[in-house]
Structure 1
Amino acid sequence: MTCLIVDDSAAFRTAVCGLLERAGILVVAATGDVDEAVAGYRREHPDVVLVDIDLGEHSGFDVVDALQDLDADAGGRIIMVSTHDPDDFADMIAESPVRGFIPKFALSAERITAMLGTDSGAGSGTGVH
């Protein structure tokens, strides 16, 4: 499985790269802004995109919109992450095309694969995990 990480914190990107790569997920790009996220998606077409909801001057939903403009099926590959309470963004996540939400403190390869349904070939897995 390949992954693109979009988060404005370089420290978080580094930590998650290590966490995921130790679990066998190849991080093909890690960036902090919309334009680099689009370029990385276009270049790598990753299996999953982890997008921080709060990107400083931009929103993670800006990244979602840009990726959807590039690839209508991108939403099924996107998992939103944040340190904020999931209830703060539940409506926005539910209305967006993203696969779901995982709190940053609970992020793991197992949760990602479970949400994508790749661990057992199961269905959608949409929601908050």
Structure 2
Amino acid sequence: MASLTARRGRRRGPGPASGRPPVRQAEGERIQLAGILTGASAWDSGNMVRCMIVDDCPEFLRAARSLLEGQGMTVVGVASNGLQALRQARQFRPDVALVDIDLGGECGLELAGRLRRETGPSPPLVVLVSIHAEDDYAGMIEGSVAVGFLAKTDLSGNAIRALLAEWGSP
């Protein structure tokens, strides 16, 4: 699916890249590690995902909030510029921030980095969104701190959860 893309290779979990041995389990066996059951993602639909939406279009903010809340996500804030986004991220501590790549006079890619660097010890994961095709921004998305990209036309609670699940546990 071209418009739903998670960045691979950056998970931090058991396995060779982390320096920790992989966890082995029999098929169907559930193992509890640090309060998380394997086989189920912390991002599954049964768990509330706290989300912030950053976009310079008020109509999109309203529509996206309504859509995501109707699909079981908790929208803790909406922001129309970088300053509002940083303030709300510090105040509301969302799990994920949906950031429009083109924020009018601001760069959403730059804001993504600032959200990760400047919002405390547990910054939100960032999913970039755009009305444009992913191919238009492919190199910039790959070089960003974002966990993935969603076309605005593909935005849904399940699409966000799928990206977050592919990324790993919070």
Matches within 5 A, 1:71-110: 71=120, 74=123, 77-110=125-158
Q: CA deviation at 1:65?
A: 2.2
Matches within 5 A, 1:1-129: 1-70=49-118, 71=120, 74=123, 77-117=125-165, 123-124=166-167
| Residues 5 and 13 in structure 1, CA contact (< 8 A), matched pair in contact too | yes
CA distance in 1, matches of 2:121, 2:107: 19
TM-score (norm: length of structure 2)? 0.66
| Residues 49 and 78 in structure 1, CA contact (< 8 A), matched pair in contact too | yes
| Residues 7 and 55 in structure 1, CA contact (< 8 A), matched pair in contact too | yes
Deviations for 1:26-76, whole angstroms, at most 9, x for unmatched residues?
11110110000000100011011000000000010121122122147647x
Q: Between Structure 1 and Structure 2, which shows a larger proportion of helix residues?
A: 1
Structure 1 residues not aligned, in runs of 5+: 118-122
Alignment size in residue pairs: 119
Identity %: 38
What residue number does 1:120 align with? Answer: none
Runs of 4+ in 1 over 2 A off after TM superposition: 71-75
Q: CA deviation at 1:15?
A: 0.2
* Alignment root-mean-square deviation, CA: 1.5
| Residues 21 and 27 in structure 1, CA contact (< 8 A), matched pair in contact too | yes
Q: CA deviation at 1:8?
A: 0.2
Deviations for 1:86-129, whole angstroms, at most 9, x for unmatched residues?
01111111111110100000101000000000xxxxx427xxxx
| Residues 79 and 85 in structure 2, CA contact (< 8 A), matched pair in contact too | yes
Between the two structures, name the one with larger relative contact order (CA 8 Å, sep ≥ 6).
2
TM-score (norm: length of structure 1)? 0.87
